[in-house]
Amino acid sequence: MPPVIELDGLGVRFGKRTILEGLQCSLSARTIGLLGPNGAGKSTLINTLLGFYRPSAGTARVLGHDIRSETKEIRSLIGYMPESDSFIAHMTAVSFTRMMAELSGLPSEAALERAHEALFYVGLGEARYRKLRTYSLGMKQLAKLAQAIAHGPKLLILDEPTNGLDPPARQRMIRLIREMRDSQELHILLCSHLLRDVEETCEEVLILKEGHQVHHSNLEEERKANRRFVELETLGDDDSFAEAVESLGCECAVTSARKMKMVVPESFAIRDLYRLAEERKVQIRRLNFRRDSLEEIFLKSMESTNGRS
Amino acid sequence: MAVHKRSYRGYAGEITPLWSRFLIVMRYAFRNAFSSKLLTAYFVLCFIFPVACAVAIYLDHNLRFLAMFHETELFTVDGDFFLLFLGVQGGLAFVLTALIGPGLVSADLANNALPLYFCRPFSRLEYLLGKSAVLVWLLSLITWIPALVLFVIQASLAAPGWTRSNLWMARSISLGSAIEILLFCLLTLALSAWIKRKLAAGAALLGVFFAGSAFAQAINAVLGTRNGYLIDLGNLMVTVESHLFGQHPPTGLPAENAWLALLAICTFCLYLLERKVRAYEVVRG
């Protein structure tokens, strides 16, 4: 599949502050997750891809178009749902969605038809003639989604789409994202700090921390690799125990005093761990055995040195 | 596809040309402005004076009507007449600007709608063009267009040679109105962009004109100068229009100074718009 987004040494600075630095990767999945804690630079990356901020270093390509020189071409292919409230209070949902579709280039009548369709699709069909200022938070989120898809974009950028939603509304949003993904009509870039949202919808993930890229992987491949983890809380000589565990073929990391995490091979048996603990006079106070998950990947990325890959 | 078919599908139909997108913003702004009955009523009132002037010009050339008063003419249609006409219509245009202008950008800023405009193939310049086009069109309808209609009526009724000797007035009408409309548009858009509340932006627009005038009077009185008028937008316009019609400005301010002051104000408004009308504000550290 041709790349959807290519980051080529991308950096963004605001005055003396470095917001993004040295981003380098190629993202090509149908749904791409952009993860990171608050302040990691996710929204800045999106705004830079949209041409709102100018890169201070490097460049990026969206669907083959360079963000430095082909902003209009990129914007004509994109649908964007911003994180914060974005609407025009005095307009009805259908007028608002229609106007946004027209601004994306649809003729007036086609825009009206698509606005109705989009609002029905997101579940606002019955409320489409209500003014947006009367909408609840969840409805406003759906209206933002409707305006982002009404013109049939090739890439849909969703910035924290489940923000402020109650569990049923969140489930509905996730279902819509999955449905759009499965329609094979568009790519989705989902920016979130919620691991579950990304895990439930995305096939590829880019993790940012403090403006740096700390992890990039294909979640499908990670799932297929299906690595197993063991989390331990011990009492005793942790270092020699860690060395002994590594001799069993495990990748081991002492995360804090008395706590360690290890990636274990297929041949690994838990009883070997207890045997080693007994030999080293180490008490195992807690043991957590789990399969690979996005949470593991994320936590590992956050622990990486200086936040850099 | 019928609206009840709830599945996502792309769009592969016709696309409108890029240059025409600003007209969409203008169309929606028009619709919003005329959703108010008060504004519609006021806009109709703005045509009373031009219609009265047209009737007066017609009667001024109607011999039977003049004979009733034993006069050969009631008034002269000259530079003074059009200066008075533009003065009256300019006042009405200002109130119309105060009614429409403050809500143009502030409504989008109040709820962060600007990123939704600019994430599309639609530039900031096009956005401002679309928003100001509403004002330009409406203000034109009550200033230079009726003034030129009156000029044409007078030219068609007057003695041969009147048009040729007074053609300069048509130029002055157009240029004077264009400057007035430009000033009103830029000022109201800039205030609308910086003050998110429509009412507050409207009040600020009135304040700029009336407080500016009061300050100008105070400066003139205290310092014994006429340069205070440089911050009095109403008198700046009067000075420029008087200059265009070859009249001595009542303010006594040199016309060149008034032109420069208006240019500076317009430039400052453009700077304010450039700073504020963007998808997201960047805080530089």
Exposure of B14 by Cβ count < 10 A (0-12 exposed, 13-18 middle, 19+ buried)?
Answer: exposed
Count of domains observed in chain B: 1
Instruction: Verify whether the Cβ–Cβ distance B107 to A90 is below 8 Å.
Output: yes
Do residues A302 and A37 make contact, with C-beta atoms less than 8 angstroms apart? yes
Exposure of A305 by Cβ count < 10 A (0-12 exposed, 13-18 middle, 19+ buried)?
Answer: exposed
| Interface membership of B206 toward A (CB under 8 Å) | no
User: Is B11 inside a domain boundary?
Assistant: no
Among A17, A63, A73, A86, most B C-beta atoms within 10 A, so best to mutate, is A86
Kindly tell me if the per-residue pLDDT of B24 is higher than 90.
yes
- Cross-strand bridge partners of residue A217: A205
User: Is B82 inside a domain boundary?
Assistant: yes
**DSSP assignment of A187-230, as one string?**
EEEEEES-HHHHHHH-SEEEEEETTEEEEEEEHHHHHHHT-EEE
User: Is B113 inside a domain boundary?
Assistant: yes
The amino acid present at B2, given as its one-letter code, is A
Q: What is the pLDDT of residue A307?
A: 44
User: Is B268 inside a domain boundary?
Assistant: yes
Structure token pair of residue A39: 């302040």
List pLDDT tens digits, range B143-179.
Answer: 999 999 999 999 999 988 999 999 999 999 999 999 9
In angstroms, the CA A254 to CA A232 distance is 9
Size of interface A-B (CB pairs under 8 A): 127
Do residues B135 and B243 make contact, with C-beta atoms less than 8 angstroms apart? no
Q: How far is CA B27 from CA B33, B37, B137, B139, in A?
A: 10, 18, 11, 16
Q: What is the pLDDT of residue B5?
A: 54
User: Is B262 inside a domain boundary?
Assistant: yes
Q: What is the pLDDT along chain A (309 residues), one digit of tens a residue?
A: 789 999 999 999 998 889 999 999 999 999 999 998 888 999 999 999 999 999 999 999 999 999 999 999 999 999 999 998 899 999 999 999 999 999 999 999 999 999 999 999 999 999 999 999 999 999 999 999 999 999 999 999 999 999 888 898 899 999 999 999 998 889 999 998 888 889 889 999 999 999 999 989 888 777 666 667 788 888 888 788 888 888 888 888 777 777 888 887 777 788 888 888 888 888 888 888 766 667 767 777 777 644 444
**A29: which DSSP letter?**
S
In angstroms, the CA A79 to CA A97 distance is 12
Q: What is the pLDDT of residue B164?
A: 92
Instruction: Verify whether the Cβ–Cβ distance B13 to A183 is below 8 Å.
Output: no
Q: How far is CA B248 from CA A86, B19, B183, B220, B239, in A?
A: 52, 43, 22, 19, 8
Q: State mean pLDDT over B226-232.
A: 88
ipTM of the complex: 0.86
Q: What is the pLDDT of residue A260?
A: 84
More confident residue, B71 or A305: B71
User: Is B283 inside a domain boundary?
Assistant: no
Q: State mean pLDDT over B277-283.
A: 81
**DSSP assignment of A109-134, as one string?**
HHHHHHHHHHHHHHT-GGGTTSBGGG
User: Is B166 inside a domain boundary?
Assistant: yes
More confident residue, B91 or A228: B91
Instruction: Verify whether the Cβ–Cβ distance A75 to B4 is below 8 Å.
Output: no
Instruction: Verify whether the Cβ–Cβ distance A110 to B13 is below 8 Å.
Output: yes
Strands A187-192 and A155-159: parallel
Coil, strand or helix at A31: strand
Q: What is the pLDDT of residue B67?
A: 86
User: A15-19, B44-48, B72-76, B156-160: lowest mean pLDDT where?
Assistant: B72-76
User: Is B234 inside a domain boundary?
Assistant: yes
In chain B, the N- to C-terminal Cα span, in Å, equals 51
Q: What is the pLDDT of residue A105?
A: 95
Do residues B90 and B237 make contact, with C-beta atoms less than 8 angstroms apart? yes
Q: Where in the sequence is the domain holding B187, given as residue range(s)? A: 21-28+38-276
User: A205-219, A239-253, B48-62, B235-249: lowest mean pLDDT where?
Assistant: A239-253
Q: What is the pLDDT of residue A292?
A: 62
